[in-house]
Structure formats: structure tokens, C-alpha cells
Amino acid sequence: MKILTIGGTVFLGRALVEAALARGHEVTLFNRGQHNPELFPEVEKLRGNRDGDMEALKGRKWDAVIDTCGYFPRIVRQSAQLLADAVGHYTFISSISVYQNFRESWDENGPLGQIDDAEAEAAADITGANYGPLKVLCEQEVEKALPGRTLVLRPGLINGPFDPSDRFTYWPVRVAKGGKVLVPGDGTFRVEIIDVRDLAEWNIRLVEANQTGIYNTTGPAYKLTMQDLLETCKADTGSDAEFVFVPGEFLQEREVDANRVCCWYVPAEEEDYRYFCEVNCKKAQADGLTFRPLAETARDTRLWAATRPEDWTWRAGLTPEKETSLLEEWQNRG
């Protein structure tokens, strides 16, 4: 197949290209060339900007397109309309953040977030409040342009090598260092994650099958708690890590965002997020989505992280100094 990827050089896009090439497909990248331009020297690279500079796409044909980086409906509309007669199938990567809340374990028919279109287009930045509703509008634009020819994937936290967010990466790296490890909450709360490679490979298989529809796409296929994740990371290296569970309220009182330390932690009073890590993904699993062992993801992520510069600025977790300070205060509390 000839597959066009919008994006294709950062995290999920990168994994999608690798998966497509591994399965023998011909890949074309369309992006601005600003991130990892040296990747994939064997593939065709078209330069442009989906917001008004898509000349490089005109007059071309592909079997399918995978859109990894659509956030504003006006911009997604442009690419979807332009490609409507140029591709047979359009994958749009959305998010479970499209749901209005997580008061239940929603399947794909759960209530969606809403935002005024004019307000959405005027937004200067993506925020926690508008990200999901904007994705809803993007999904709708793709379906309008290619009715019956769209595949919408709604992942949650994607993890694995090359993850720029550090939300998962922090834990296998921190646990490997050993010692006392500060963890918000009590370790019993649920965790939902999907290895970027599992998501990418499954996406390519769906494209090959010309599959359409909407799928929640997170995992694993069993109940995973934070304690389970930590113990898996510890077993990976045999470190002497000792997990110190600290109430989120303790961190909040010290102006530490517990969610930034551990993105799966949700305070008990947050009713809207009660089932944030229990999204119903049975449809995707029934249609072939599988998950590699968590230990493999933890190991591969830790090894990749070790290749980054020593002075890497982490986007999630705690600095060693802050963690030490909090642990001392917690253990010396009156």
C-alpha cells in the first residue's frame, strides 16, 4: 500500500512509519521538517504546513493517510478536504480526552465534550480544558470530508521509547536508581497505558483491512495498578527500590502537583475522573488489539532513556533534590 503520514517523525508518528515499513508498505511523509528530519532517509518526504501550505500534496494519490497531529478543526478540515479525492482511507489519531467526563467506564458511545467552534478557533493554545473538545470537532471534520472512509483511534497514555512526555518514562528510570521512591497515593489506583509500538502496528493492520469506525485504544487487557507497575519496573533491574506512598494532599499542601508526578493519580473527590483509567476498550481488543508484556515496555523505555543527554530536563516526575526534601518532611512529620 501507499501510505501518507501527516507528521511521522515524533513518537507515535515515528512508530507508525516503522510499522508500515516493516510490513512492506510505501510511505510518504508530509511535515514541516522541524523534528528529526534525518529519520527515514529511504522514504519520500514532502515539506509544507497543513495550515495553508499543502501544495506538495496536490495532484498526488495514496491508498491511505494517517493523521497523527490534528488539533484544530479548521486545520484538520483543510487536510481532510484536500485529501478526500486523493486517498481511500483516513486515520485520525484522537484521544480518550474527547469524553465529557469519566464518571463511568465509557465505551465509544460515551458523552463527548463540547466547545463553541468560534471559541475553539480563537484559542491561542491547547489547554487541558479545550484539548478534548477540539479533538471531537476534528473527528467530525474528517468524517464530513470522507464519510464512511474514516478510522478514529482514541488512545489514552501512550508510552514506550521516544516518548517526549516522560509521564511513563520517569518510573522505570527512577525505580532502577533504587532507594526510597516517593509515590503519590497508596498504589492501589488503576493505570491504563499502551505501548506506542502496539498501537502503531495495530493501526497499520486496520489500514490494510480498510477498517473504519471509532475505537478506544488503551490497555492493558487486565487490571493494572500503580503498585503492579512499580513492582514490574523493580523486577526489571533488581534494584533495591523502596516505595514510599504519600497522600496527594500532603503534596498539594506543599504546592506539588501530584498529577505531574504520577499522571494516573486521581484524588478521591475528583468524581469527573473516577474512571479515567478504566475506559472500555473491548471493541478494539475484539478487533485484534494486543499488548506486549509491561516488563518489555519498561525495559525498552529505560534503555532508550539512557541514551538521552545526562542534563535532560524531565517533563514529569520529581527532581532528586525535591524528592529527597519531600521524603524527609514526610518521614519527620509530627
Please indicate, yes or no, if residue 103 is contained in any of the structural domains. Answer: yes
How many other C-beta atoms lie within 10 A of the C-beta of residue 44?
A: 13
Residue 281 dihedral angles phi and psi, to the nearest 5°: -115, 25
Whether residue 42 is found in the same domain as residue 89: yes
Give domain status of residue 284, yes or no.
no
Report yes or no on 334 lying in a domain.
Answer: no
Instruction: State residue 244's pLDDT score.
Output: 98
Domain count, the chain: 2
CA dist., res. 8 & res. 68, Å (int)? 7
Q: What pLDDT does residue 280 have? A: 98
**pLDDT of 13 above 90:** yes
Q: Other CB atoms closer than 10 Å to residue 293's CB: what's the count?
A: 11
Extract long-range pairs of 282-289: CB within 8 Å, 24+ residues apart.
282/107, 283/107, 283/108, 283/215, 283/216, 284/202, 284/215, 284/216, 284/217, 285/221, 287/206, 287/211, 287/215, 288/202, 288/205, 288/206, 289/198, 289/199, 289/202, 289/215, 289/217, 289/219
Q: How confident is the model at residue 129 (pLDDT cuts 50, 70, 90)?
A: confident
Q: Has residue 85 got a pLDDT over 70?
A: yes
Do 269 and 227 lie in one domain? The reply is yes
Q: pTM here?
A: 0.96
176 and 104 in one domain? Answer: no
Peptide bond just before 220 cis, omega within 30 deg? yes
In this structure, are 129 and 178 located in the same domain?
no
- For residue 122, the model assigns a pLDDT of 67
**Do 118 and 184 fall into the same domain?**
no
The whole-chain average pLDDT of the chain stands at 95
Which long-range contacts link 113-118 to residues 24+ away (Cβ below 8 Å)? Answer: 117/73
- Chain segment 22-71, per-residue pLDDT in tens: 999 999 999 998 999 999 999 999 999 998 899 999 999 999 999 999 99
What local confidence, expressed as pLDDT, does residue 333 receive?
A: 84
250 in the same domain as 129 = no
Q: How confident is the model at residue 120 (pLDDT cuts 50, 70, 90)?
A: low
Q: Check which CATH number belongs to the domain holding 299 and give it.
A: 3.90.25
Q: Roughly how many angstroms between the first and final C-alpha of the chain, as a whole number? A: 66
Looking at residues 306-334, what average pLDDT do you find?
Answer: 94
Lowest mean pLDDT among 14-18, 42-46, 70-74, 90-94: 70-74
Co-location of 182 and 79 in the same domain: no
Give me the pLDDT at residue 334, please. 58
Question: CB neighbours of 202 closer than 8 A, spacing ≥ 6?
Answer: 217, 284, 288, 289, 290
Alpha carbon dihedral 97, 62, 288, 136, in 10-degree steps, equals: 20
**Same domain? 116 vs 247:** no
Task: Please give the radius of gyration of the chain, using alpha carbons only, rounded to the nearest integer.
Answer: 21
Question: What digits encode the pLDDT tens for the residues 144-169?
Answer: 999 999 999 999 999 999 999 999 99
Residue pLDDT, tens place only, 223-282: 999 999 999 999 999 999 999 999 999 999 999 999 999 999 999 889 999 999 999 999
pLDDT band of 125, cuts 50, 70, 90: confident
| Co-location of 52 and 106 in the same domain | yes
Range of the domain at 48: 2-155
208 within domain boundaries = no
Inside any domain, residue 213: no
Q: Identify whether residues 85 and 178 lie together within a single domain.
A: no
Residue at 21 is within a domain: yes
Residue 117 has pLDDT above 80, yes or no: no
**Whole-number Å distance between alpha carbons of 46 and 216:** 31
**Is there a domain that residue 143 lies in?**
yes
Residue 121, pLDDT > 80, answer: no
pLDDT in tens, 58-76: 999 999 999 999 999 999 9
State pLDDT tens for residues 208-224. 999 999 999 999 999 99
- Residue 230 covered by a domain: yes
Task: Check whether residue 135 and residue 230 sit in a common domain.
Answer: no
Residues 183 and 78 in one domain: no
- What mean pLDDT do residues 184-191 have? 96
List the CATH number of the domain containing 76: 3.40.50.720
The confidence band for 118, taking pLDDT boundaries of 50, 70 and 90, is: low
